[in-house]
Amino acid sequence: MSIASTLSLNIQKKVGRQRLRKFFLGSIPFLILITVWHLNEVFNWLEPVFIPKVSEVWEAFFILQEDCEGFSAAIALDQSCMMSTHILSSVGRVLLASIIGLPAGIALGIFAGMSRPISKVLEPIGIFANSISGIAWIPLAIVWFGVGWMTTLFIMLNTIFWLMFFNAMMGVRSIARVYEQSVLTMGGSRWDVITNVYLPGAMPSIISGMRMSMGFGWRALIAAEMIGGDSGLGFMIFSSASEFKIEEVFLGVIIISLIFLATDRYCLIPLEKWTIHRWGLVWKPH
């Protein structure tokens, strides 16, 4: 075996050990929570009306889904499939708001970072929109759009778009203008400047903005569904709490956490690694 192959194998083993160690350390808080939860069930520190049994939360999922007539009914958001309907409604809203809000915020943020006049026009209204919590818009959104999809979509878009806009704009502003002038001097177009200077240079800020937007977007969505939604996990949590079904409240909270953890771990973090490695901003072993 060559020296290069041996070195590569050692690096892969080290990376594997680091990932395993990171996974183990990240699992410790969850293991502690589950242990305390189970101990509460054994020693009855708090009554089940405050903290349900683990088995009751697990059973609640199947109770909410027991009348579902099959996969096709679940995909069609049939009301008999209560659990899957709430999950798919929330996920669908997040996807739609992300598809609209993220690209729009990135594009406008890049142009605002490149152009001082555009920045002077958009930055004040952006500061105004960001200064008002997404939850504060819910009463107005209900008046404007009624209870349902449009209200929750508006709240999410308002949160995602402006966070993404500011991160992209500040990322572009952090790039020295000398790089733009160098590309233009060598005969490059404005598009070349965007694709070869501003987009790569602002990528860390953009990816950071995406992770922030998704986190704050989920929070805004759940609050909007609680007050102005007719379906979704936030709606399920609120309606279950009003009926004192504490096990369904816990189930909704756990599912929300798992969905966001999965989104961050399997979508946003890989995207962050791929883009930063793609633009050569960090060293990557081969």
Binned at pLDDT 50, 70 and 90, residue 18 comes out as confident
Compute φ and ψ for 165, nearest 5 degrees. Answer: -60, -50
Q: Are 180 and 189 in contact (CB under 8 A)?
A: no
Instruction: Give the type of residue at 135.
Output: I
Q: Are 133 and 73 in contact (CB under 8 A)?
A: no
Q: So what's the pLDDT on residue 276? A: 67
Question: Tell me: the pLDDT tens digits for 101-115?
Answer: 999 999 999 888 888
Instruction: Give the type of residue at 60.
Output: A
User: Mean pLDDT of all residues in the chain?
Assistant: 81
CA distance 146 to 226: 14
Work out how many domains the chain is built from and give that number: 2
* 109 and 90 housed in the same domain: yes
The answer to whether residue 38 sits within a structural domain is: yes
* 16 and 132 housed in the same domain: no
The answer to whether residue 147 sits within a structural domain is: yes
* 33 and 150 housed in the same domain: no
3 against 106, higher pLDDT: 106
* 6 and 25 housed in the same domain: yes
Closest CA to 225 of 236, 213, 214, 212: 236
- Which of 1-10, 36-45, 67-76, 105-114 comes out lowest in average pLDDT? 1-10
The answer to whether residue 286 sits within a structural domain is: no
pTM for the structure as a whole: 0.79
Binned at pLDDT 50, 70 and 90, residue 96 comes out as very high
* 33 and 60 housed in the same domain: no
* 36 and 106 housed in the same domain: no
* 148 and 21 housed in the same domain: no
| Average pLDDT of the segment spanning 35-57 | 83
Question: Tell me: the pLDDT tens digits for 219-244?
Answer: 888 888 888 778 888 899 998 888 88
Binned at pLDDT 50, 70 and 90, residue 121 comes out as confident
Specify the long-range contacts of residues 174-183, CB closer than 8 Å, at least 24 apart: 174/201, 174/202, 174/205, 175/201, 175/202
Query: What CATH number is given to the structural domain containing 84?
Result: 1.10.3720.10
* 107 and 247 housed in the same domain: yes
Domain span at residue 25?
Answer: 1-45
Specify the long-range contacts of residues 54-62, CB closer than 8 Å, at least 24 apart: 56/247, 57/247, 57/250, 57/251, 57/254, 59/247, 60/245, 60/247, 60/248, 60/250, 60/251, 61/251
The answer to whether residue 284 sits within a structural domain is: no
* 38 and 130 housed in the same domain: no
* 36 and 154 housed in the same domain: no
